[in-house]
Amino acid sequence: MPELEITKIQELVYELWVGDVMHNDVVTVTPSTPLSNLREILRDNRISGTPVVENGRLVGIISMEDFIKWLCEGSPGCAVADRMSRNVIAVCADEPLIQAINKLERLGFGRLPVIKRGTKEVVGILTKGDSIAGLLKKLDIDYRQAETRHPRSSHIFEDIVADRSSLIFEYDVAGGGDVERGGASASGLKTSLMRLGIDPQTVRRAAIATYEAEMNLMFFTNGGLITAIIESDSIRLEVTDDGPGIENVDQAMRPGFSTAPDWVRELGFGAGMGLYNIKTCADRMRLDSTVGVGTRLEVEILVGGKREVIRDNATVTA
Amino acid sequence: MKLKDVCKILEAEPVRKVDSSRWRSREVASCQASDLISDMLSFRGPGSLLLTGLTNIQVIRAAELLDFVGICFVRGKRPEPEAVKLAEEKDIPLFATPLLMYESCGRLYAAKLPAGTRKEASPIA
């Protein structure tokens, strides 16, 4: 599935920073370096260009091309300063790799000096090769998760002929704080979604939202039901219980607000981040609650990395 | 940095020594530290190491859901037996270090292991 592959690579280039993949040990020259010395420097280090640095600051860049031009002109005696490009385009170490790759592509450059933000201090150099090596390393880290995918069910939505199709998974959650069983629903959903071939980032969001909802059912209700409705482009979670209900939904949504008793806090919960964490994972979220009747939470997560990485928060209606 | 490097820096021992060869060379991309489950769940980024003083089974659940590369328990704590069992099932390596949380974080940070990202979680509207 080529579409999925692009999504994966896109995810990776957004997760990596220039500083993660650049070369730290940069070979540099100074403006006063004689051009006749440049050949050895480029050859010994097996590079095709190098930043020009004066007093630690980036002042230009000189490449093999500049050198060849100089040779064609009969190699007159001059220094790097006379031949370097002064209008240097650099990237910052804390920039996302995607921006740097776009710059390399757009400008057709082989390399970009990396500078510390706010200064012109050269901290590294980024080549297309570094970007590829960085991506490969990241892929290697992610490989173990990819292995857990079950190939047989990953085409299910393409294999089924229908105008609309959905898979429904239901998880019963017991109330009363059975800590040992807690999280089993989120874990089961995660495994199932991975087997469906859904991208890991989307799966993680669904798993976190499910886990937090599951913990709420476990600690604060007499038990409830988590229903996950999976379609080719979205995952919807419906979490229902029949009490006790939330008195003030706005307050419950506020990060840090918690009504958890001490025994729950001792287990590491009760930070008041549960509903907020769900919100950050959701594309849409709706929470309805009536005291004495019950609570209904709906969460929608869109599948496939078409969304902005840093996105707007889900809208919450209560 | 690899898990075996982390062990060396933290003077940490694997909780179960039997299968340590399987994970020794797994890559650690970043680190997160917390004693609160919901804080852990606000972290992003697979390949992260989790430092915690919390030893119950839900820590393993959090690590499973977030694809943490391993968990190191600080200040000499040992995970509860059910936690060890689940970790084994989910193939999540566990370690224990005698160091306190502050020093554990400090040593890894000084060794240039970056903090994990939270960038998926945007600030509240």
A167 shares a domain with A129: no
The Cα–Cα gap between B35 and B53 comes to 6
Domain that holds residue A197: 151-317
Q: In a mutagenesis test of the B interface, which of A20, A137, A141, A301 is the best target, namely the one with the most B β-carbons within 10 Å?
A: A141
Section A141-157 average pLDDT: 61
Element (DSSP H or E) covering residue A289: strand A284-290
Q: Which residues of chain B have a CB within 8 Å of the CB of A309?
A: 119-120
Give the residue among A199, A151, A48 at the shortest CA–CA distance from A109.
A48
The CATH number assigned to the domain holding A92 equals: 3.10.580.10
Structure tokens at A308: 């902005």
pLDDT at residue A306, rounded to an integer? 46
Three-state DSSP class for residue B117 = coil
Section B19-44 average pLDDT: 84
Q: Say if A57 falls within a structural domain.
A: yes
Nearest CA in chain B to A277: B42
The Cα–Cα gap between B79 and B61 comes to 13
pLDDT at residue A87, rounded to an integer? 85
Using a pLDDT cut of 70, give the percent of chain B over it: 88
A266 shares a domain with A237: yes
Q: Say if A144 falls within a structural domain.
A: no
With bands split at pLDDT 50, 70 and 90, how would you rate the model's confidence at A270? Answer: confident
Is the ipTM beyond the 0.85 threshold? no
Higher pLDDT, A151 or A125: A125
A59 shares a domain with A208: no
A229 shares a domain with A279: yes
Tell which A residues from 266 to 305 touch B, by Cβ distance under 8 Å: 267-269, 271-274, 276-277, 280
With bands split at pLDDT 50, 70 and 90, how would you rate the model's confidence at A188? Answer: very high
Q: How far is B59 from chain A (nearest CA, A)?
A: 9
The Cα–Cα gap between B92 and B69 comes to 7
Q: Which residues of chain A have a CB within 8 Å of the CB of B122?
A: 280, 310-313
Q: Say if A146 falls within a structural domain.
A: no
A117 shares a domain with A40: yes
A200 shares a domain with A86: no
A96 shares a domain with A52: yes
Of B29, B56, B121, Cβ closest to residue A267: B56
Q: Which residues of A195-222 are buried (b: 16+ CB within 10 A; e: fewer)?
A: bbbbbbbbbbbbbbbbbbbbbbbbbbbe
A61 shares a domain with A182: no
The Cα–Cα gap between A222 and A138 comes to 43
Give the residue among A4, A68, A58, A13 at the shortest CA–CA distance from A31.
A58
The CATH number assigned to the domain holding A257 equals: 3.30.565.10
Q: Is B58 an 8 Å CB contact of chain A?
A: yes
The tens digit of pLDDT for each residue in A111-129 reads 889 988 878 888 888 888 8
Q: Say if A53 falls within a structural domain.
A: yes
pLDDT at residue A314, rounded to an integer? 47
Lowest mean pLDDT among A21-35, A263-277, B14-28, B89-103: B14-28
* A267 contacts B29? CB cut-off 8 A: no
The Cα–Cα gap between A146 and A199 comes to 9
Q: For the CA atoms of chain B, what is the radius of gyration?
A: 13
A54 shares a domain with A18: yes
Section A188-214 average pLDDT: 91
Higher pLDDT, A51 or A75: A51
* B120 contacts A186? CB cut-off 8 A: no
Report the mean per-residue pLDDT for chain A: 83
A262 shares a domain with A130: no
Q: Say if A244 falls within a structural domain.
A: yes
* A15 contacts B117? CB cut-off 8 A: yes
Q: Is A180 an 8 Å CB contact of chain B?
A: yes
The last residue of one of the domains, among A137, A160, A187, is: A137
Nearest CA in chain A to B112: A20
- Delineate the domains of chain B, giving CATH numbers in brackets: 3-110 (3.40.1390.20)
The last residue of one of the domains, among A137, A160, A175, is: A137
Section A16-45 average pLDDT: 86
Written as one string, the DSSP assignment of A143-207 is HHHHHT--GGGTTHHHHS-SSS--EEEEEEEESS--TTTTTHHHHHHHHHHHHTT--HHHHHHHH
Q: Is A208 an 8 Å CB contact of chain B?
A: yes
Residue A143 has pLDDT above 70, yes or no: no
Q: How far is A56 from chain B (nearest CA, A)?
A: 23
A161 shares a domain with A31: no
The last residue of one of the domains, among A103, A137, A171, is: A137
Number of compact structural domains in chain A: 2
Of A267, A273, A310, Cβ closest to residue B39: A273
* B65 contacts A208? CB cut-off 8 A: yes
Q: Say if A142 falls within a structural domain.
A: no
Residue A207 has pLDDT above 60, yes or no: yes
With bands split at pLDDT 50, 70 and 90, how would you rate the model's confidence at A305? Answer: low
Section A231-251 average pLDDT: 92
Q: Say if A145 falls within a structural domain.
A: no
pTM over 0.95: no
With bands split at pLDDT 50, 70 and 90, how would you rate the model's confidence at A287? Answer: very high
Q: Say if A76 falls within a structural domain.
A: yes
* A280 contacts B58? CB cut-off 8 A: no
A120 shares a domain with A193: no
Q: Is B121 an 8 Å CB contact of chain A?
A: yes
With bands split at pLDDT 50, 70 and 90, how would you rate the model's confidence at A310? Answer: very low
Give the residue among A112, A123, A114, A139 at the shortest CA–CA distance from A5.
A139
With bands split at pLDDT 50, 70 and 90, how would you rate the model's confidence at A273? Answer: confident
**Which of A151-165, A183-197, A272-286, B94-108 holds the top average pLDDT?**
B94-108
Q: Which residues of chain A have a CB within 8 Å of the CB of B125?
A: 312-313
Please enumerate in sequence order all residues whose Cβ is within 8 A of that of A21, keeping only pairs 6 or more positions apart, or say none. A97, A126, A130, A131, A133, A134, A135, A137
Kindly report the length of chain B: 125
